[in-house]
Structure 1
Amino acid sequence: MTVRVVAVDDHPIVVEGIMSLIRSQTNDFELVGSAPTWSGLKAVIAALPARPDIALVDLHLAEEDAYEAIEVLSSSGIRVLLLTSELRAIPIRRAMAAGASGLALKSDPVTDILDVLQQVAAGQEAVSSDLAFALVSDESLVAHLAPREVEVLSLLADGVPRKSVGSRLDPPVALSTVNTYINRACVRYRELGRQISSPRDVIRAATEDGHLDGFTLQ
């Protein structure tokens, strides 16, 4: 039986190209719809005569929440395969926690992507390469920051002066507590061997890892 596939990707032509290569190797999968946005994919799915089996989801959806898409799709019985060029562990792990069943990197060979598709279609969890496995599960790849540490670093990254950060938290905390959060984050990164000598360094590291999505350094 043919596995029905839909996709949400802000570059649909990339997905269509990958699926075309997959169809050259097997007729087991059919791309029955795609859209560049989550709202667009919902409309595509609603118009289909039958619920798709698998949804390919990219994490780079402009101004939309890919994690919400994953939660809704997986809760409706559609298995989600991340098909993305994202190489930061934190966003990928958030996506897996939201309900994704597998990860395939767009840079991996089509044969490996096909293998992951087959495993996900069979109800298994799968990744497409050693790098994908590390992004999903290597505990030494990124620092594990507590929610309060991320919140403090996010405010600093957004330009809030350190002395004002504590008053922006709920509940508010003293400056000394803010400094403790910053120092703990610095220690966590140093334990990974990262060169951290200032709060700006730890903000940059947390941004690069995906802890602070939506924040950019000026």
Structure 2
Amino acid sequence: MTALCNALPEQLSLLLVDDHRIFLDGLSLALAPLCADLQIETAESAAAAQACLQQQDFDLILLDLRLPDMPGLELLQRWQQQGCLTPVAILSASDSTLDAQAALNAGALGFIPKSSNSDELRQAVTRVLLGETLPAPESGEPNPLTPRQMEILRLLAEGLPNKSIGRQLGVSEDTIKTHLKTLFQALDVHTRTACVSVARQRGLL
């Protein structure tokens, strides 16, 4: 670990994005030994993170998957669309290999579990700062969606409105709305477009 840390520059600037203040404080302490002059900014929402990025440049962003105003993957995708070149690693309480793969597919350079101890955390952050992409764990998880939800998802990906989806499946439009609500919750999204996008990232489409 010492050798890896010595390979880092003496001055680094990190942005930590998480909605739990106490976790941000602990994370800042855990990362303090990374280099002699470590500048850490914190943001507790997607909006605050966006504001920080507009004010200064960072060497790395550590981003939580679940923020109060926007899912982390949607925020990451927005940054990608804006041409943001700052490396991003996801730091999440989720231990889902599907979430990890979705994060990498969305452009993250790594997926670091919050269950990591301080040494593991610094090791992972150092590897990303040195330009390495952390591989996702092997997936052994079953598909989290039911067969009916998969049918709706595929029709959603074709751009069909709720009424047309219901007609094809022989159910009411209200039933489709109920299934969509469950789909959005399962994939942690808020829009039809994001639902299809995240499903593709997870290999469900």
> Normalising by the residue count of structure 2, what TM-score does the alignment of the two structures yield?
0.65
Higher alpha-carbon Rg? 1
Where do residues 78-157 of structure 1 align in structure 2 (5 Å cutoff)?
78-126=86-134, 133-134=136-137, 137-138=138-139, 140-143=140-143, 149-150=149-150, 152=152
Which among 152, 159, 175 is matched to residue 169 of structure 2?
Answer: 175
- Per the alignment, in what secondary structure is the counterpart of residue 89 of structure 2? strand
- Per the alignment, in what secondary structure is the counterpart of residue 34 of structure 2? coil
Structure 1: state its 5+ residue gaps. 128-132, 154-165, 178-199
Partners in 2 of 1:89 and 1:29 — Cα distance?
A: 34
- CA offsets per residue over residues 107-152 of structure 1, 9 Å max, x none? 111111111111111111116xxxxx43xx41x3132869984463
Displacement of 1:57: 0.3
> Normalising by the residue count of structure 1, what TM-score does the alignment of the two structures yield?
0.61
**1:90 and 1:211 in contact (8 A); partners too:** no
Partners in 2 of 1:212 and 1:99 — Cα distance?
A: 18
Partners in 2 of 1:65 and 1:73 — Cα distance?
A: 13
- Work out whether 1:63 is the aligned partner of 2:57: no
Structure 2: state its 5+ residue gaps. 1-8, 154-159, 172-178, 191-205
The CA RMSD measured in Å over matched residues stands at: 3.7
AA of the residue aligned to 1:18: L
Residue of structure 2 equivalent to 1:39 = 47
**2:71 and 2:188 in contact (8 A); partners too:** no
Displacement of 1:56: 0.6
**2:88 and 2:108 in contact (8 A); partners too:** yes
Q: Number of matched residues?
A: 166
- Work out whether 1:11 is the aligned partner of 2:17: no
Q: Relative contact order (alpha carbons < 8 A, sep ≥ 6): 1 or 2 greater?
A: 2
Partners in 2 of 1:16 and 1:5 — Cα distance?
A: 13
Residue of structure 1 equivalent to 2:30 = 21
**1:9 and 1:35 in contact (8 A); partners too:** yes
Residue of structure 1 equivalent to 2:196 = none
Partners in 2 of 1:15 and 1:173 — Cα distance?
A: 48
**1:82 and 1:102 in contact (8 A); partners too:** yes
Displacement of 1:84: 1.2
**1:167 and 1:173 in contact (8 A); partners too:** no
- CA offsets per residue over residues 43-73 of structure 1, 9 Å max, x none? 122223xx10100100110131312321244
- Per the alignment, in what secondary structure is the counterpart of residue 83 of structure 1? strand
Q: For the structure 1 residues 60 and 29, does the alpha-carbon distance in structure 2 shift closer, same or farther, using more than 3 Å as the test?
A: farther
Partners in 2 of 1:72 and 1:213 — Cα distance?
A: 14
